[in-house]
Structure 1
Amino acid sequence: MEAALWYVLTGTRGGTNRARILRAIHDRPQNANRLAERLDLDYKTVRHHLDVLQDNGIVTVGGEDYGAVYLPSERVRQEWAVVERIFVTVAENDSGFDYAPNPN
């Protein structure tokens, strides 16, 4: 799982937006429309990134169609310390990703 996280969040085009989405749904599970509004991204862009995250087992979805709510997968929640290290790396490489590590 760690390799998939690093690849999807840092090794591919769009990784920063996927990191933003993952951070947002970790804070509060939400649907694609809400994510698009909150992150100021196009709805289709958000849906694409959610599909990539879901295809790699990083997020899961509850519900169907428009009301589907996304949240981090159980495996990702178990490895959240890895995700936070990745967020630090993303922030160091992309000034558009504002992240301060959890002090705990």
Structure 2
Amino acid sequence: MEKALWYLLAGTRGGPNRTRIIRQLDDRPQNANQLAEELDLDYNTVRHHLDMLIDHDVVEAGSEDYGALYFLTDRFEHNRDAFERITDRIDDDSTNDDGPS
């Protein structure tokens, strides 16, 4: 799972938004529309990120119905420490980036 998290959070442009979605779902389960509103993102953008997170077993839908709530998976919970290490590293790298020399 750690490799998948590196890819999802640091290896693609959508990493910051995926991190925000994970943190929001850690607070409480929400549906895609609620996430879009809370994070001030387009609904389709949130759906795309949720699909990526589902494909990598980070997030799961509570049902297939419209308005389904999304939850963090048990597999993610078992790898939460890897998520925290990765996001800490990303944050450290971004704050230490002085730009071009």
Task: Note whether the superposition's TM-score is higher than 0.5.
Answer: yes
Seen in structure 2, the aligned counterparts of structure 1 residues 27 and 37 have a Cα distance that, compared at 3 Å, is: same
Name the amino acid aligned to 2:29: P
SS at match of 1:67: coil
Correspondence for 2:10: 10
Correspondence for 1:29: 29
| In 1, Cα distance between equivalents of 2:61 and 2:90 | 24
Q: Note the C-alpha offset of 1:70.
A: 0.8
Number of residue pairs aligned between Structure 1 and Structure 2: 95
SS at match of 1:25: helix
User: TM-score, normalising length from structure 1?
Assistant: 0.83
SS at match of 2:29: coil
Which residues in structure 2 correspond to 1:1-104 (within 5 Å)?
A: 1-93=1-93
Q: C-alpha offsets along residues 16-67 of structure 1, whole Å, 9 cap, x if unaligned?
A: 1011101110111110000001000000000000000001111111023322
Runs of 4+ displaced beyond 6 Å = none
User: TM-score, normalising length from structure 2?
Assistant: 0.85
Q: CA RMSD, aligned part only?
A: 1.5
Structure 1 portions without partners, runs of 5+: 96-104
Name the amino acid aligned to 1:60: E
Whether the aligned pair in 2 keeps the contact of 1:16 and 1:90 (CA below 8 Å) is no
| In 2, Cα distance between equivalents of 1:66 and 1:19 | 24
Q: Note the C-alpha offset of 1:93.
A: 4.6
Larger-Rg structure: 2
Quick one: percent identity of the two aligned structures? Answer: 56
